[in-house]
Amino acid sequence: MNLFLAHIQQDNALISNEEAHHLKKVLRKNVGDQILVTDGLGNLFSGEIIAIETKNVVISNLKEFENKQKRSYHLEVAIAPTKQIDRTAFFLEKAIEVGLDAIHPIITFHSERRKINQERLERVGLSAMKQSLKGEKTKVNELIKFDDLIAKYKDFEGQKFIAHCDDTIEKTSLKEALTLNGSYIFLIGPEGDFSKAEIEKAIQYGFKSITLGNQRMRTETAALSTVMAVHWAHQ
Amino acid sequence: MNLFLAHIQQDNALISNEEAHHLKKVLRKNVGDQILVTDGLGNLFSGEIIAIETKNVVISNLKEFENKQKRSYHLEVAIAPTKQIDRTAFFLEKAIEVGLDAIHPIITFHSERRKINQERLERVGLSAMKQSLKGEKTKVNELIKFDDLIAKYKDFEGQKFIAHCDDTIEKTSLKEALTLNGSYIFLIGPEGDFSKAEIEKAIQYGFKSITLGNQRMRTETAALSTVMAVHWAHQ
């Protein structure tokens, strides 16, 4: 069954905008068809299409549908978007399949890319959510400067990590540093890594300096390896 | 410094064919330039280009270059190639960055794709090896039938796993099943999963039945999650 993001009301659900377009024009669903809907907040329902209007699609007979993919942790990744944005999009898609609550595209000192098409990343995220039947919508945040992000997460109650390759700054293996407190944010730098000043500032703001091992990885691979590390740690 | 795959002799190295073309025509290297070469078997050397001939490039003054990415394990993945072959190529690239010794494209009962462009996968593999400065070349095997592969690996001395989603067959979490014996092969099925008969046959041949967790993942994501699981287990 196909999944759609919907506005869930007491007894029915409304599908609007691009989701309604996708349902009507791409998947060519009709009145009477059974579909799955989610509020994007962890809740899934099965239901029946009872009306296809110009702007909205109305779903009724909602029945709770077990969300078998509920995770026991909260995970956010801040990543310097790659020069080839496809690589960042691919990271996002894979990370959503494995489990990710929010992505923060960041501008760093060595960033090659200082603009992003946020709508495109949002489309990739929504599509990955639907394809993998997730009940949670991953938040695609606006591009933010490194300094603003670490300030914003000053009082974050989970574990905060900055992954980097600077051998002059002490760092712990993520495997050792990770304690299963259930809430995490990772900072992943651009191809040229974070600057020394950025790493030191993040450490001041309570981010733990970590290494992802001795393998040379691209930005999107490093980011994905943190998502996988948390996934495996929680199995 | 750029890395090239070479035939290493006692005191010098020969670069031929496409690697020579890449060095001459794409990267426009000249006599006197310093480069890195590898035999693809774990050994890296720095050296100097002393001759650019029609067919070969000759490298001299070889000095051992520390392979900081040596892994303590051997890993092979057999994967049913995805309908969109880009997804399999992406898996291969990411897996090589993290660490992979061999890929086996397999034909399974539910496979949508029963042909592959092996040369393309080999090019992707070589490119990922060079880009991430690995000293080991990942073997891209020919397409093989599922039954032939499991028979071929009957006496494999490492741990053998088949990952699947069939709830009627007992399976263990990979995290619990993985013992760090240093050598592993994983079987990853197509979008429609392995057939029950395939899973049962693999179990007869000594493959452990495993689950990768409750997250719904595409084929290439599932494959990558096994590569990441082994990477993290060995950190």
| pLDDT tens readout for residues A70-119 | 999 999 999 999 999 999 999 999 999 999 999 999 999 999 999 999 99
Nearest neighbour of A216 by CB, restricted to B132, B174, B218: B132
With an 8 Å Cβ cutoff, are B97 and A69 in contact? no
pLDDT band at A11 (very low <50, low <70, confident <90, very high): confident
Q: What is the tens place of the pLDDT at every residue in B139-195?
A: 999 999 999 999 999 999 999 999 999 999 999 999 999 999 899 999 999 999 999
A vs B, Cβ pairs < 8 A, gives 84
Residue listed under structure tokens 């009872």: A50
The ipTM, to two decimals, is 0.94
Choosing among A70, A92, A96, A216, which should be mutated to test the B contact, i.e. which has the most B CBs within 10 A?
A: A216
What single letter denotes the amino acid at residue B29? K
Q: Please indicate if any CB of chain B lies within 8 Å of the CB of A131.
A: yes
Question: Cβ–Cβ contacts within 10 Å for residue B222, how many?
Answer: 23
Q: What is the mean pLDDT of residues A199-209?
A: 98
> How far apart are the CA of B162 and the nearest CA of chain A, in angstroms?
17
Which 8-state DSSP code applies to residue A80? Answer: -
Whether residue A165 lies within 8 A of chain B, CB to CB, comes out as no
Taking an 8 Å cut-off on Cβ atoms, the answer to whether A215 and B175 are in contact is no
Architecture in CATH of A3-65: Beta Barrel (2.40)
B227 token code pair: 């590569």
What span, in angstroms and rounded, lies between the C-alpha atoms of B180 and A18?
Answer: 48
Q: Least CA distance to B217: which residue of chain A?
A: A97
Residues of B in contact with A223 (CB under 8 A): none
User: What confidence tier does A178 reach under pLDDT thresholds 50, 70, 90?
Assistant: very high
Of B70, B221, B228, the CB nearest to A225: B228
Is the minimum CB–CB distance between A67 and chain B shorter than 8 Å? no
Half-sphere exposure of B6 (CA within 13 A, CB side): 30
Would you call B132 and A218 a contact, using CB atoms and an 8 Å cutoff?
yes
Amino acid at B96: I
Q: Is A149 on the interface with B (CB under 8 A)?
A: no
What's the mean per-residue pLDDT of chain B? Answer: 96
Q: How far is CA B18 from CA A7, A233, B53, B138, in A?
A: 55, 42, 14, 17
Q: For chain A, say whether B174 makes contact (Cβ under 8 Å).
A: yes
Q: In this predicted structure, what is the pLDDT of residue B10?
A: 84
The better pLDDT of the pair A10, A48 is held by A48
Amino acid letter, residue A231: H
Domain with CATH 3.40.1280.10 in chain A: 74-233
Give the nearest chain B residue to A129 (CA atoms). Answer: B216
DSSP A41: B
| Any A CB within 8 A of B169 CB | no
Three-class SS state of B161: strand
Res B118: pLDDT: 94
Q: Where in chain A do CATH 2.40.240.20 domains reside?
A: 3-65
User: Could you tell me which chain A residue has the CA closest to the CA of B133?
Assistant: A216
CB contact under 8 A, A217 and B99: no
Sign of CA dihedral B100, B103, B108, B113: positive
Q: How far apart are CA A160 and CA A178, in angstroms?
A: 10
Q: Does residue A171 sit at the B interface (CB-CB below 8 Å)?
A: no
Do A94 and B231 make contact, defined as CB atoms within 8 angstroms? no
| Cα A134 to Cα A230: distance, rounded to the nearest angstrom | 18
| Phi, psi torsion values for B227, nearest 5 degrees | -65, -40
- CA-wise closest residue to A165 among A201, A215, A204: A215
Q: What is the CA radius of gyration of chain A?
A: 20
Q: How far apart are CA B80 and CA B223, in angstroms?
A: 10
Instruction: Report the Cα B202 to chain-centroid distance in Å.
Output: 21
Residue A68: count of CB within 10 angstroms of its CB: 11
Write the Ramachandran bin of B215: left for phi over 0, alpha for psi from -120 to 50, otherwise beta: beta
Is the CB of B132 less than 8 angstroms away from the CB of A94? no
Half-sphere exposure of A125 (CA within 13 A, CB side): 22
pLDDT at A10: 84
| Amino acid occupying residue B147 | D
Q: Please choose, from the candidates A89, A76, A157, A146, the residue with its C-alpha nearest in 3D space to the C-alpha of residue A118.
A: A89
Q: Do A215 and B99 touch (CB under 8 A)?
A: yes
A73 shares contact with chain B (CB less than 8 Å): no
The CA–CA distances, whole Å, from A218 to A82, A198, B126, B224, B232 equal 9, 19, 15, 15, 17
For residue A175, list chain B residues with Cβ-Cβ distance below 8 A: 232, 235
Which pLDDT belongs to residue B143? 97
Residue B89: name the closest of A24, A71, A86 by CA.
A86
Angstrom distance (rounded) from CA B30 to CA A15: 61
pLDDT single digits (tens) A210-233: 999 999 999 999 999 999 999 999
Judged by a CB distance cut-off of 8 A, whether residue A135 touches chain B is no
Class of domain A74-233 as given by CATH: alpha beta
Cα(B226)–Cα(B230) distance, integer angstroms: 6
Using CA atoms, how far apart are residues B81 and B19, in angstroms rounded to an integer? 26
* Among the partner residues A69, A90, A216, nearest to B133 by beta-carbon distance: A216
Which pLDDT value is given to residue B108?
Answer: 98
The packing angle between helices A219-233 and B85-98, to 10°, is 80
Q: Do A98 and B217 touch (CB under 8 A)?
A: yes
Tokens of B66: 């520390």
Choose from B73, B124, B235 for mutation: most chain A CBs within 10 A: B235
**B225 to A228: CB separation less than 8 angstroms, yes or no:** yes
pLDDT in tens, A149-174: 999 999 999 999 999 999 999 999 99
